[in-house]
């Protein structure tokens, strides 16, 4: 049931990503899909006129001509004949101010449908009329908005919107040629002409279906990649949500920028966020694959899509290579610098390749690349946000957690010094084993440091922290076992209080798996037999850890290292034979108990781990020479 719900939610997540991309992708509104800027090389093939079309004037040209023609514009005012006896034309003060602001020199006064041109200098306001006649005279001119606007529009309509024609078959521009002001005007005229053509419903629908098919195919391709090569990632809903949200953010920003801003601003968008953030939490192959899928989807609307794909693909590969193991914040700044250089080099190279002249390079693009690099550094904040949101853990966080001078580690060392030293030794053993089999070294090291922090709650019950008295000896075996087992639940509680990642909490909960506290269980069975009972009379579950069993290779390595390091302290003789026998016995017992059934450890992995543990224990416990004393 849970599996079917998970699959349904995953399908819904990928469907939502596809729907968002299809909705925001530019639709078929006109077949003129070229992107161009003045001063930039033409990135497409030869363009010729398929039919005659007019060259439209630019807005700047039209503004100049409008100003010229409106110099002859005269607003119209209707004369109030009831005040005509004054023989002067009086305007309200506000109307006079408007005429002055417009720069009008004449107005048309309409008297009984006859228009007369009157200079503005001969018009009065109520104040100036009183000064001239010593009488209070009310305004006798009323603005005629309808007639005035008709006259204004008649003047503007005389302006031609075009200048010249492009003949059918005439060359407009070819690959590599620089888009000049004149060529830009012609191309914009061509765009406008094509746009004014009627676009059929069938064309629009066909385009939308094509976009949808393209995007859905790419998303299915990504799902197939996960199913084939990263099935474990696909089996987790959290990972699906992570991928869909990360891709959705970049795709949405890109489509909005491409539709509402200048063409070149697409290079402000930090596409490297996708491979960087994915690589921090997952692996390089997945990071590159998801980056390519995102880039292909955005290329639907990108200018010069082949150049765009090339630049973004190379930048993404460089980002992943430079962050093979991100353990320091400074690496992100280094990656940002690499990306700036890569963007700049590729842009310069493609410009020279297409135009054959380095002078055609637009320097503002380097500013875009610099801003892009700064935004890449800001990915650190997103890494932290994704960590908290999806319960993931980055190498940076693991490095911070391995700091033995942190407050939690210092408290651990103070309250349970013996256990703390034991954890350090286990960490060293587990780290070497992880290196040998190719497991996550930093994760194992961190998990080993924290696996026994639950013993801080009652350190006096654990022999490594005791000096002389062992309080467990006075307890019944079942009660003593319960006290020992509780260090797992205490560890989980402490870890959650300090907000440790879930993956580290799994190490704490699983480092004993579902095994039993062998010392107390065996002692209880022996006691039962002495009392005439059988082993079945002893409840094994009272002596068993709650689990779970290890789910990963790293957790399994920790379980082995923990048991072997503790057992090595009980050996009377630390020889190669005794150490080798002990390691084999402990690992064989855990395998026989099924503790590694949920991991992907192979027989070869187990054999390599045995060899590492034996070598390291022998190195740690090798004999030293006795220092001679000075004879008397």
pLDDT value for 426 = 96
Q: Which residues are CB-neighbours of 128 under 8 A, at least 6 positions away?
A: none
**H/E segment holding residue 118:** strand 114-119
Rounded to an integer, what distance in angstroms lies between the CA atom of residue 226 and that of residue 293?
13
In sequence order, the β-bridge partners of residue 119 are 106
pLDDT value for 451 = 96
Classify burial at 232, counting beta carbons within 10 Å of its beta carbon; exposed 0-12, middle 13-18, buried 19 or more. Answer: exposed
Across the chain, mean pLDDT equals 87
Rounded to an integer, what distance in angstroms lies between the CA atom of residue 250 and that of residue 272?
10
pLDDT value for 69 = 85
Contact yes or no for 407/301 (Cβ under 8 A): no
pLDDT value for 358 = 75
Q: SS in 3 state form for 292-324?
A: HHHHHHHCCCCCCHHHHHHHHHHHHHHHHHHCC
Rounded to an integer, what distance in angstroms lies between the CA atom of residue 223 and that of residue 218?
9
Contact yes or no for 398/449 (Cβ under 8 A): no
Low-confidence stretches of the chain (pLDDT < 70) are 1-2, 27-33, 82-87, 134, 196-204, 263, 327, 354-357, 622-627, 632
pLDDT value for 87 = 67
pLDDT value for 508 = 96
**H/E segment holding residue 10:** helix 2-24
Q: Where would I find the H helices in 84-200? A: 93-102, 126-133, 145-157, 181-196
Domains and CATH numbers, the chain: 2-26+202-390 (no CATH), 66-157 (no CATH), 411-620 (1.10.3210)
Sequential DSSP letters for 604-630: HHHHHHHHHHHHHHHHHT---PPPPPP
Rounded to an integer, what distance in angstroms lies between the CA atom of residue 401 and that of residue 409?
9
Contact yes or no for 267/376 (Cβ under 8 A): no
In sequence order, the β-bridge partners of residue 143 are 77
pLDDT value for 497 = 95
Structure tokens at 265: 């601003």
Rounded to an integer, what distance in angstroms lies between the CA atom of residue 128 and that of residue 136?
10
Q: Are strands 106-111 and 76-79 parallel, antiparallel or unpaired?
A: parallel
Q: What is this structure's pTM?
A: 0.70
Rounded to an integer, what distance in angstroms lies between the CA atom of residue 511 and that of residue 591?
14
Rounded to an integer, what distance in angstroms lies between the CA atom of residue 51 and that of residue 74?
42
Classify burial at 128, counting beta carbons within 10 Å of its beta carbon; exposed 0-12, middle 13-18, buried 19 or more. Answer: middle
pLDDT value for 589 = 94
For tokens 């010249």, name the residue.
Answer: 164
pLDDT value for 270 = 94
């Amino acid at each position: 049931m849970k599996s079917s719900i998970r699959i349904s939610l995953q399908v819904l997540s990928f469907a939502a990503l596809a729907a968002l991309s299809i909705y925001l992708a530019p639709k078929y509104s006109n077949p003129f899909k070229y992107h161009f800027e003045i001063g930039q090389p033409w990135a497409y093939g030869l363009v010729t006129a398929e039919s005659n079309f007019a060259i439209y004037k630019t807005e700047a040209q039209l503004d100049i001509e409008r100003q010229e023609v409106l110099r002859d514009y005269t607003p119209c005012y209707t004369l109030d004949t009831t005040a005509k006896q004054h023989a002067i034309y009086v305007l309200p003060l506000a109307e006079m101010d408007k005429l002055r602001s417009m720069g009008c020199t004449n107005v048309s006064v309409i008297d009984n449908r006859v228009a007369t041109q009157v200079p503005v200098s001969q018009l009065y306001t109520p104040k100036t009329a009183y000064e001239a006649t010593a009488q209070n005279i009310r305004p006798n001119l009323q603005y005629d908005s309808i007639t005035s606007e008709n006259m204004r529009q008649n003047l503007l309509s005389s302006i031609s919107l075009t200048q010249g024609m492009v003949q059918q078959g005439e060359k407009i521009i070819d690959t590599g040629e620089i888009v000049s002001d004149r060529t830009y005007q012609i191309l914009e005229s061509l765009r406008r002409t094509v746009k004014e053509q009627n676009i059929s419903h069938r064309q629009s629908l066909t385009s939308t279906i094509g976009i949808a098919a393209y995007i859905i195919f790419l998303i299915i391709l990504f799902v197939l990649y996960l199913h084939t090569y990263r099935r474990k990632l696909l089996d987790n809903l959290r990972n699906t949500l992570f991928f869909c949200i990360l891709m959705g953010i970049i795709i949405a920003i890109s489509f909005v920028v491409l539709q509402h801003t200048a063409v070149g601003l697409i290079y402000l968008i930090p596409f490297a966020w996708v491979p960087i953030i994915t690589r921090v939490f997952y692996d390089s192959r997945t990071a590159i694959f998801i980056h390519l899928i995102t880039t292909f989807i955005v290329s639907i609307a990108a200018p010069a899509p082949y150049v765009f794909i090339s630049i973004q693909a190379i930048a993404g590969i460089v980002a992943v290579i430079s962050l093979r193991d991100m353990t320091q914040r400074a690496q992100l700044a280094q990656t940002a610098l690499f990306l700036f250089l890569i963007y700049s080099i590729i842009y310069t190279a493609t410009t020279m390749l297409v135009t054959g002249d380095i002078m055609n390079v637009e320097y503002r693009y380097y500013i875009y690349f610099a801003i892009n690099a700064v935004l890449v550094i800001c990915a650190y904040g997103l890494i932290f946000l994704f960590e908290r949101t999806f319960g993931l853990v980055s190498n940076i966080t693991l490095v911070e957690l391995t700091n033995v001078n942190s407050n939690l580690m210092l408290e651990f060392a103070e309250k349970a010094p013996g256990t703390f030293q034991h954890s350090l030794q286990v960490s060293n053993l587990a780290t070497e084993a992880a290196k040998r089999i190719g497991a996550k070294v930093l994760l194992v090291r961190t998990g080993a440091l924290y696996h026994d922090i639950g013993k801080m709650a009652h350190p006096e019950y654990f022999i490594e922290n005791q000096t002389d008295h062992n309080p467990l000896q006075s307890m019944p075996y079942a009660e003593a076992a319960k006290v020992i087992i509780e260090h797992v639940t205490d560890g989980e509680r402490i870890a959650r209080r300090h907000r440790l990642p879930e993956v580290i909490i799994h190490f704490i909960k699983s480092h004993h798996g579902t095994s039993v506290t062998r010392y107390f269980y065996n002692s209880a069975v022996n006691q039962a037999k002495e009392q005439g009972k059988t082993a079945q009379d002893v409840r094994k579950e009272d002596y068993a850890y709650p689990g779970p069993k290890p789910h990963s290779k790293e957790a399994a390595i920790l379980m082995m290292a923990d048991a072997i390091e503790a057992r090595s302290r009980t050996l009377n003789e630390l020889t190669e034979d005794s150490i080798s026998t002990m390691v084999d016995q402990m690992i064989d017992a855990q395998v026989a108990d099924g503790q590694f059934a949920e991991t992907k450890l192979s027989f070869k992995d187990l054999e390599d781990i045995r060899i590492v543990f034996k070598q390291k224990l022998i190195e740690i416990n090798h004999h030293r020479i006795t220092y001679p004393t000075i004879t008397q």
